[in-house]
């Protein structure tokens, strides 16, 4: 049985009348926009101009991308999910230019540190950076492809954490025509060098456990356990960094999701099966996050 999206695609390919085709394309655009999280305003600011403009821009780009790609859908040869992903990726690459990313950065800056509004803006910004297609890949030629992927994954996650924590350091007036992604990519370049210096392949094979979380925070009050303090802080995620830090190409496999699963005493094999990620990759990422967030736990708990 065809899905609604497949039905609309086949309908769009069949219609010849211009007005009918326009109507079907509008329905396709609306269908794909329902699953698009970027541009959704914070609940207390439903008319926020930054998010409204971003959503309008994405919608217009998506409509254009759909119009161009309707004839490329082959039905039995291409799954509708693949077609949808490619169309949305093309639309986001067009819509998320440097100015749009800069507006999201400035939106985060205007809210108080650790406020829900800032957390929402940072979540939108990090997702927009990932989907923009504007991230650089510095130093790629210096390493083997497999090793570079490991370095890049770690460096990118650390860079995005830096963006969340140091967003107030971004100055749009600094230098000549200062672009937001210049600021991000400069940090990414440095982070890859630092990760290469710190990377230890032997450590990547060790499986961490809950003791890793217990040892990275300062002593908790006697009335509560240290593990509960750490768990609550990760679940609350006041700066949005635990959810934003995830394994490359696997946004659901965030440090927050993995840590909470481990607190629930789920095995590494169970978690790996859920995210369709190999245990060494999963556990290595988790171990590095524990080390990376150690100062934050020590300072804030």
pLDDT (tens digit per residue) in 14-54? 888 888 889 999 999 999 999 899 999 998 888 999 999 99
Q: Can you tell me the distance from the alpha carbon of 118 to that of 106, in angstroms, rounded to the nearest whole number?
A: 10
Q: How much is the pLDDT for 299?
A: 65
Q: How far apart are CA 168 and CA 182, in angstroms?
A: 15
Lowest mean pLDDT among 21-35, 123-137, 286-300: 286-300
Contact between 296 and 240 (Cβ < 8 Å): no
46-87 pLDDT, tens digit each: 899 999 999 999 999 999 999 999 888 876 656 888 888 999
Instruction: Quickly tell me which residue has 């079907």 as its tokens.
Output: 24
Encode pLDDT of 158-169 as tens digits.
899 999 999 999
Whether this model's pTM surpasses 0.75: no
Higher pLDDT, 252 or 202: 252
Mean pLDDT of the chain: 83
Helix (H, G, I), strand (E, B) or coil at 45: coil
> 36: phi > 0 → left, psi -120 to 50 → alpha, else beta; which?
beta
Q: Please say if the pLDDT value at position 224 is more than 80.
A: no
> How far is 180 from 172, CA to CA, in rounded Å?
7
Residue 178 has pLDDT above 70, yes or no: no
Q: Centre a 10 Å sphere on the Cβ of residue 213 and count the other Cβ atoms it contains.
A: 22
Is 70 exceeded by the pLDDT of residue 267?
yes
Least confident of 23-37, 71-85, 102-116, 252-266: 71-85
Backbone phi, then psi, for 59, in 5-degree steps?
Answer: -60, -45
Give yes or no for a contact between 179 and 129, defined as CB atoms under 8 angstroms apart. no
Residue with tokens 């937001």: 180
Evaluate whether 176 touches 272 at the Cβ level (below 8 Å).
no
């Amino acid at each position: 049985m065809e899905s609604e999206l497949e039905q609309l695609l086949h309908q769009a390919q069949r219609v010849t009348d211009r007005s009918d085709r326009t109507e079907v394309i509008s329905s396709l655009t609306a269908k794909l926009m329902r699953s698009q999280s970027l541009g959704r305003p914070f609940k207390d600011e439903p008319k926020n101009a930054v998010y409204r403009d971003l959503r309008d821009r994405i919608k217009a780009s998506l409509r254009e991308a759909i119009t161009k790609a309707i004839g490329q859908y082959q039905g039995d040869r291409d799954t509708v999910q693949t077609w949808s992903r490619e169309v949305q990726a093309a639309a986001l690459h067009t819509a998320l230019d440097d100015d749009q990313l800069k507006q999201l950065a400035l939106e985060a800056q205007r809210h108080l540190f650790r406020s829900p509004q800032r957390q929402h803006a940072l979540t939108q910004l990090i997702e927009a950076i990932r989907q923009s297609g504007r991230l650089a890949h510095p130093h790629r030629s210096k390493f083997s492809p497999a090793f570079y992927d490991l370095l890049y994954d770690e460096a990118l996650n650390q860079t995005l954490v830096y963006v969340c924590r140091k967003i107030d350091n971004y100055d749009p007036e600094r230098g000549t025509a200062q672009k937001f992604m210049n600021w991000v990519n400069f940090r990414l370049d440095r982070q890859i060098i630092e990760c290469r210096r710190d990377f230890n392949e032997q450590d990547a094979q060790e499986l961490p456990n809950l003791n890793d979380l217990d040892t990275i925070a300062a002593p908790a009050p006697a009335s509560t356990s240290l593990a509960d303090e750490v768990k609550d802080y990760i679940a609350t995620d006041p700066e949005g960094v635990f959810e934003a830090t995830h394994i490359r190409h696997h946004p659901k496999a965030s440090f927050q999701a993995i840590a909470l699963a481990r607190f629930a005493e789920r095995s590494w094999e169970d978690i790996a099966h859920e995210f369709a990620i190999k245990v060494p990759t999963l556990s290595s990422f988790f171990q590095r996050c524990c080390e990376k967030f150690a100062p934050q736990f020590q300072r804030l708990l």
